[in-house]
Amino acid sequence: MERTHIKNLKTKVGETVIVKGFVHAIRDQGGIKFLLIRDVTGIIQVVVLKSESEAFELVKELTLESVVSIEGRVKEEKQAPDGFELQALKISILSKADPELPIPVVIEKGGEEPEVTKRFDWRWIDLRRSERQEIFKIWTELEAGFRDYYEKNGFFQIYAPSFMSSPSESGADVFEVNYFDRKAYLAQSPQFYKQMAMAAGFEKVFMTGPVFRAEPSFTTRHMTEFTGWDFEISYIDSHYDVMKVEEELIISGFNRLNEKLDLGLEIPVIPFPKVSMAEAKEMLKQAGIEGERELDLSPEEERELSRIVKEKYNHDFIFVTAYPSAVRPFYHMRDDSAESLTKSFDLLYKGIEITTGAQREHRFDVLERQAMEKGMDLASIREYLDFFKYGCPPHGGVGIGPGRLIMKLLELPSVKEATFLPRDVKRLKP
């Protein structure tokens, strides 16, 4: 007999089925025993009668979080959760759990949540909770919505290496590793490889992959390794073309979440509000907020600017454009009317930056000059510069931090809560 998922039992009333899952709860009432069994789709109440002697005796051996297979008959029962239950005929223990759980899966009424560090130490047990699994259902459907857009609009998927022969921007904030007879670096970004795809004539690419940042940051928004979602497109007229694609991409993702998970998300209106960095600073100044960073936004300023935009435009997203070249990478294209500014942007969502994007500089001589202005060793990036030496279309793209996006979607306290196995300065396991 094939296994039936718990969510499908309502269509099996009167039938004999097999369910498999974790023992969520055990209740002994003498001549009758109740189990709650949990699988990835839900929880079912199982009744074990004394008349089924073998199954009844086996319940005495069960511990919370043991994995079992139960053959039984689905019955209507008004007092049971969802109005039906499973009457056990046969129980098999597939894996018996140690009775001393390091952290609870079920938090009793009035009980306290384990401290977050301990939860991450025992992450695979922490992830058994349905509210944790919901986070990764959202990851799955959001990415599927993005992929829907990419498929409909002719994007290639590419897979970039994590090992780089030189840092993508500078020697700071990178992980250096031994690579046989030389040094290598874990990629801060797939940026160079996306641009190589543009030079190869792919025109539209997207990718999902790990990003590494050796930043000694201890905030709710930073990790040393995270998943990045990137795209790059060719033959653009400006960075506004890139922003338009990202708007449509996000709406595709949000629509998918509403369709598959019924989240009831408010679909953002296109176009998203856009302000230059100078305009953002002026808006903040009028609100009485002056950050320490003259050319960039502090986390406090990002939160306040998002509040102002929500109040003024009723929008959760805002593009901040025209960042000064002093705080942007050498490969960001400079503004034609103001050399000190770049054709770049950040996208804020509910008070946090979730995207950095730009039109890239595709002209070999200009790119070389801008790298020298940043004090970069041209020899160390020669292979990258060669991408542009033999013709390359004008192009631009973004790097998205989906963990931050999901963190704000669900109002989680930290991006680590939105991450399967978070890595930070102190954490390297499990």
Q: Is 404 annotated as a binding residue?
A: yes
Neighbours of 7 (CB within 10 A): 13
20: nearest Cα among 34, 9, 31, 33: 9
Q: Where are the alpha helices (DSSP H) in 163-322?
A: 191-199, 239-261, 277-286, 299-313
Neighbours of 131 (CB within 10 A): 7
Q: Is 360 annotated as a binding residue?
A: yes
Q: Where are the alpha helices (DSSP H) in 91-129?
A: 116-121, 123-126
Number of H helices, E strands in the chain: 11, 18
Residue 20 pairs in a beta bridge with 69
Q: Is 134 annotated as a binding residue?
A: no
DSSP 273-313: PEEEHHHHHHHHHHTT---S-SSS--HHHHHHHHHHHHHHH
275 phi-psi bin (left φ>0, alpha ψ -120 to 50, beta other) = beta
Q: Is 293 annotated as a binding residue?
A: no
225: nearest Cα among 419, 29, 1: 419
369: Cβ contacts below 8 Å, ≥ 6 apart:
none
Q: Is 383 annotated as a binding residue?
A: no
Q: Is 396 annotated as a binding residue?
A: no
Q: Is 214 annotated as a binding residue?
A: yes
Please name the residue that has the structure tokens 């940026």: 191
70: Cβ contacts below 8 Å, ≥ 6 apart:
18, 19, 20, 35, 37, 46, 86, 88, 90, 91, 92
Say how far apart CA 366 and CA 352 lie, in whole Å: 32
Cα angle for residues 294, 299, 300 (degrees, 5° grid): 85
Please name the residue that has the structure tokens 């952290």: 103
Q: Is 356 annotated as a binding residue?
A: yes
Q: Is 402 annotated as a binding residue?
A: yes
The binding site for ATP comprises: 213-215, 353, 401-404
The binding site for L-aspartate comprises: 169, 213, 356, 360
The binding site comprises: 169, 213-215, 353, 356, 360, 401-404
